[in-house]
A and B are shown apart, each in its own frame.
Chain A
Amino acid sequence: MRVEMFTFLVTATIVLAGSLGVVLLRNPVHNALSLIGTLFGVAVLFIAQEAYFLAAIQVIVYAGAIVVLFLFVIMLLGVDKSESLRREPILGQRPAAIVAGVAILGLTLTALLSSAARVTGEQSVLAPLDPAVPDINRLGRVLFTEYIFAFEVTAVLLTIAVVGAVVLIRRAGDPIDLGEFPDGTMGDVLAARAAERNPTIDDAADEEAGLDETADDAAATDDAAATDDAAGGER
């Protein structure tokens, strides 16, 4: 195994582990810390490609500044409660998400593995980097020649981000639910559905039907009552 391959495998593991941590861990602080792992791994990948400047920027800006900012916000706002992931707003959402995820992964892997060694637009990937010219110079040049428009127009994007952040934080008053969701806000709907899924035993229909019947029958009617409830909820 060549050294590049080895480096890649190690850093890829770090990147993946970090991103999994961002998604899966419950504590926001841990999420933010995992993000650092991911960003750090990406920085290593940049180094492996001899893009030292990018690697430095990656560490300084992302890991250094942005994630630290995240942490500040988390600490200051005290958002250290873990979010419950048990609720499933749409029935069958989780299996569907897994299927879709696997499908996308499969598609990507098929595409990449079928032509991995043959990245067809090779000229740029394999172009030699002249060690005499530091890549910071190259980046600067490209930014102000070839990508001048993209570079300049990014300013607009940043402006929008600032305006948007300010606007959304400034509250004009308490949000009011004007009844555009007849069933209440999304939270109410979720609560109602959760209640549906665990019907209480003292359900009137249950009592009526189940009094003088065997245990099996009672269980069956229980199910029926539950589906009735679900249908009622749909209406």
Chain B
Amino acid sequence: MFGLPTQDEPIPFDELPLDDPLLFDEPAGVVIPDIEWSAIAPNLILMLGGILLLTVVSLVRGRTPSWFSAVWTISTAVFAGVTLVPLWQRVQDDGAESVMAGAIGLDGFSLFVTGVMCLSVVLGALLLEGYLRREGLAGPEWYVLLLLSASGGVTMASANDLIVMFIGLEILSVAVYVMAAMHSKRVSSQEAGLKYFVLGAFSSAFLLYGIAMVYGATGTTNLVGIQQFLSETVLTQNGLLLAGFAFMLVGFGFKVGAVPFHNWTPDVYQGAPSPVVAYMASGVKVAGFAGMIRVFVVTFGPTYGADWRPMVYALAMLSLVVGSFGAIVQTDVKRMLAYSSISHGGFILVAVAANSEAGTAAALFYLLVYTFMIAGSFGIVTIMGRTGDGLHALSDYRGLSKARPGLALLFTVFLLAQAGVPFTGGFLAKFYVINSSVSQGQYVLALIAMSAAVVAAFLYLRIVVAMYFDGNTYRGESATLAGPKVRIPAAAGVALGIAVVGTLWLGILPGQMTSVAGDAVAQLVAIGP
């Protein structure tokens, strides 16, 4: 009854499947898998970059200048990004592949997500550089963890095996738990780290439980195998599989901050160091969604889409509503952005719920745009937090347009882009999602999504009001910005520049990127000959 082995006597030798190499003791019978280094080059570069950085700074302790680690990290991420180009070409020409003994899928989807992860590492490192000096926390560990975490995200996005995906998720998350708690001078940072860790561990357990159930239902953890099994077999009893879906969805839902698994988001975003939040909101979310899409849309989508879609539909709806309305009552900018990121998560879930290639492309495009927007927004929050990273109340932004007009304008661009104003990437991202949703006949969800975007727009306007309108009276006298002087470190300036250029570029000339996102299809192919 509980699935214990019931085989009491061994199968006679002549009935054994002799072609199974595992049955032979001789090394000759072991098929050593073909390790194709080039196929996992971006991941490998991120990984080795992190570990080498750790080694180098350990060996030359005390002599590395503070910018060294940042430059190292950025060049590593850029290098990893560059290696994507030939791989992308290869995938577009020869089709997707399964490498590393079928554990890693090399397809457009994973490469696209890898690119976004590299981008968020670059932006995160740029923001960290000035931040760490300001806070007196300089140390290479931040960058080491950043790079390793990103490699986990890449692993997750390209995993063709649930176990690999789980390990990727853990690499991604554990590093971020630590980073969230690493501002050792702030109580709230440690509180955030602990909360994130406890809840994250919970969600991992759920995910693992779900994986176990799916394994029980399908007999394999390999996504290709699962997809094959489900398309070839009609399950008369699919309770285990469906329970597996539910648990895995809970696990992913935690990671992407979908309602009702979102409770950690505002607290953690508020407490964690701002540049880390920038990475958390972009990189971690991107990887979480990548994993979700890979498992649900690509693996289960063709056969069991009808079963999980209602669940994702509900998650999307709740996230949109709770995220938008929850944001309105906040008075802390970081919490506001946290809620708005929940709402954005809802938007991406709308694309996931479409369960189509168009939906995947829409989610990818959204994630790319979102990375620019949110990294930019939290970049400004980083700068505005000033020493101590504590000035995040809405009132601390009052009069920013006078004190720092450029910064206020940039923040306005990011906020309006998040609201989905045309000629910013945010609009096209939303358009893309609505398109994919409507083409699946989900009109109601599309309407809810757009209405939630309007509610969320109120939040963004509140910040704009604080920056522009609260500070000056009708006659033009203006209240001055309270608190210490706002300093923009050069590196953070570069990050903001990249983010704003990206946001506008994807809004004005998106043609190229939409077609890339359209080509970034996820494919599960069995390991080649």
Contacts and interface: CB of A to CB of B under 8 A. Distances in A.
A and B touch in the complex (CB under 8 A): yes
Interface of A: 4-5, 8, 48-50, 107-108, 110-112, 114-126, 128-133, 137-138, 141-142, 144-150, 153-154, 156-157, 159-161, 163-164, 166-168, 170-181, 185-186
6 contacts: A130-B10, A147-B163, A147-B164, A168-B193, A178-B188, A180-B270
B308 to A, nearest CB: 14
Interface stretch (B142-150, B419-427, B508-516): B142-150
B85 interface: no
Contacts of A122: 219
A166 B182 CA distance: 11
Contacts of A149: 40, 100-101, 103-104, 161, 164
A177 B22 contact: no
Nearest to B334: A180
Contact of B236 (A118, A124, A173): A118
A175 B40 CA distance: 41
B1 A116 contact: yes
A177 B187 contact: yes
A114 B219 contact: no
Interface string B172-192: 001101100110111110110
Nearest to B4: A4
Interface in B105-149: 136-137, 139, 141, 144-145, 148-149
A34 to B, nearest CB: 18
A126 B4 CA distance: 8
A130 B54 CA distance: 45
Interface string B390-412: 10100000000000000000000
Contact of B2 (A116, A120, A146, A159): A116
A175 B185 contact: yes
Contacts of A114: 237, 239
B148 A168 contact: no
In terms of DSSP, what is the predominant structure of the interface of chain A? helix
Contacts of A163: 54, 141, 144-145, 148, 178
A141 B22 contact: yes
B377 interface: no
Contact of B218 (A48, A117, A120, A148): A120
Contacts of B31: 145
Contacts of A108: 243
Interface stretch (B59-67, B209-217, B436-444, B499-507): B209-217
Contact of A168 (B11, B47, B178, B240): B178
A178 B189 CA distance: 11
Contacts of B2: 5, 8, 116
Nearest to B178: A164
Contacts of A138: 22
Question: Would you list the 4 A-B pairs with minimal beta carbon distance, nearest first?
Answer: A121-B219, A111-B243, A164-B178, A178-B390
A114 B335 CA distance: 43
B184 A175 contact: yes
B208 interface: no
B7 interface: yes
A170 B392 CA distance: 27
Contact of A119 (B23, B148, B216): B216
Given A128-B10, A163-B178, A178-B390, A156 B164 contact: no
B188 A120 contact: no
B376 interface: no
Contacts of A161: 174
Given A116-B1, A120-B240, A160 B175 contact: yes
Nearest to A108: B243
A111 B30 contact: no
Nearest to B184: A172
A99 to B, nearest CB: 13
Contacts of B151: 156
B6 interface: yes
A120 B218 CA distance: 6
A160 B190 CA distance: 18
A220 to B, nearest CB: 31
B155 A153 contact: yes
Residue among B103, B104, B144 with max Cβ neighbours from chain A (10 Å): B103
A156 B216 contact: no
Contacts of A119: 3, 216-217, 240
Nearest to B267: A186
Nearest to B182: A167
A175 B141 contact: no
B323 interface: no
Given A154-B167, A156-B51, 14 more contacts: A111-B243, A120-B235, A121-B220, A125-B219, A128-B11, A148-B103, A153-B168, A160-B145, A160-B148, A164-B175, A164-B178, A167-B139, A185-B191, A186-B191
Interface string B78-120: 0000000000000000000000111110000000000000000
Given A120-B217, A126-B5, A160-B145, A172 B185 contact: yes
B229 interface: yes
Contacts of B137: 172
A178 B177 contact: no
Given A111-B242, A128-B7, A157-B167, A121 B30 contact: no
